[in-house]
Amino acid sequence: MCKNHGVAYVKPGEVEVREIDYPKLALGDRKCHHGVILKIVSTNICGSDQHMVRGRTTAPEGLILGHEITGVVIEAGRDVEFIKEGDLVSVPFNIACGRCRNCKEGKTGICLNVNPARPGAAYGYVDMGGWVGGQSEYVMVPYADFNLLKFPDKDQAMEKIRDLTLLSDIFPTGYHGAVTAGVGPGSIVYVAGAGPVGLACAASCHLLGAAVVIVGDMIPERLAQAKSFGCETIDLRNKTPLPDAIAEIVGVPEVDCAVDCVGFEAKGHGGNADKEMPATVLNAAMEITRAGGSIGIPGLYVTGDPGAIDEAAKKGSLSIRLGLGWAKSCSFHTGQCPVMKYHRQLMQAILYDKVQIAKAVNVQIISLKESVQGYKDFDRGAAKKFVIDPHGMIPN
């Protein structure tokens, strides 16, 4: 039997690589005839993983992390018809049955059948159904025919694997944020956050035809990364009010669309840059978005945050200026990205060289052993997207 190793959450601030069970085509005590086992080609560290590792969720000790997965099928269940052994596939981070009302409506991020606690499930994530994560050597994927995106040419896909690995989450998530904010040709857009999702969102805004993409962050290296592919940038440590900073770029203190790629661990701006203020980004987005504009919110907000600044925030209750958003008739769109809504189209954009997404988010390949240090570097704000290569399969 093949051995398997995975990245486990140990305690706040600590992960380790452990030997774990080799996956089986099983769901508890019953066979999972609709599933496959993958040999992992690439699996990425995500900012959402960092929330757990920082101790900002109720994640249990020993949870195997990882929801951004690309791999080769090495075993397929009896009922899998269209995915074959040897196929190289992208795995949406959303686990979806393909049978429930929400799946049939394309809302695969809130499938009704894969998590007994609430709608929606993901690999290796707290309160998301107990599915084993994919920052490992091998993983089981259920409902394979529905969930998996097969790359049409395996050799071509391996040449572009640094880009294609991002289809499992951050590229569709950033794109979803831009789409739900109404980004289109000629738009002026503000993207809050220059982490990997924010950078993917900014690249998506360019792909959608935005005229100006402004990215705000507090880490100079991340702002430099955004500037490297044509974004305007705002250093949020500066005391210049955000509307005034935007006016210095586009002449008016507002934008057509805003996207929150930060989430619940947001900090204040200017003089409050060292203070956690979880509603900062949402309130700033309402302030700077024009009347009638839209705000996309792919940034993560949680219902349980033991490390929050007050009792309300621990339950996900934030001091949001909803009256301002209402007065301006702003639209808001929240929740997980339904990856399958976008991943095939974005795959085509990658394969036909319409976007250089790995370059935009600064992909760095690391080994499974190096993932522990990768988490530490990412937590310090490295302007990189760490991609784990467990088997040494990614070409230099």
Domains, the chain, with CATH or none: 4-169+338-388 (3.90.180.10), 170-334 (3.40.50.720)
* pLDDT above 90 for 298: yes
- CA dist 161 and 87 (Å) reads 14
* Helix residue spans in 148-219 (DSSP H): 154-159, 161-164, 170-180, 196-207
Q: What is the pLDDT of residue 163?
A: 98
For residues 292-312, average pLDDT: 93
Neighbours of 272 (CB within 10 A): 13
Among candidate residues 176, 331, 365, the one with its CA nearest the CA of residue 257 = 331
For residues 204-231, average pLDDT: 98
Q: What is the pLDDT of residue 1?
A: 56
For residues 240-246, average pLDDT: 97
* pLDDT above 70 for 141: yes
Q: What is the pLDDT of residue 393?
A: 97
- The helix/strand/coil state of 316 is coil
Q: Show the tokens assigned to 271.
A: 């003089």
Q: Which residue has better confidence, 310 or 287?
A: 287
* pLDDT above 70 for 321: yes
Q: Supply angle C-alpha 363, 14, 110, rounded to 5.
A: 65
Lowest mean per-residue pLDDT among 32-41, 65-74, 168-177, 314-323 = 314-323
- CA dist 106 and 124 (Å) reads 23
What is the value of pTM for the model shown? 0.97
- The helix/strand/coil state of 332 is strand
* pLDDT above 70 for 132: yes
Q: What is the pLDDT of residue 137?
A: 98
Q: What is the mean pLDDT of the chain?
A: 96
- CA dist 122 and 47 (Å) reads 14
Instruction: Count how many Cα atoms sit within 13 Å of the Cα of residue 306 in the half-sphere of its side chain.
Output: 10
For residues 385-395, average pLDDT: 97
* pLDDT above 80 for 335: yes
For residues 28-48, average pLDDT: 96
* pLDDT above 70 for 173: yes
Q: What is the pLDDT of residue 304?
A: 87
72-100 pLDDT, tens digit per residue, is: 999 999 999 999 999 999 999 999 999 99
- CA dist 226 and 321 (Å) reads 29
Q: Supply angle C-alpha 246, 251, 252, rounded to 5.
A: 65
* pLDDT above 80 for 2: no
Say what percent of the chain tops pLDDT 70. Answer: 100
For residues 48-70, average pLDDT: 95
pLDDT band at residue 69 under the 50/70/90 scheme: very high
What secondary structure letter does DSSP report for 101? H
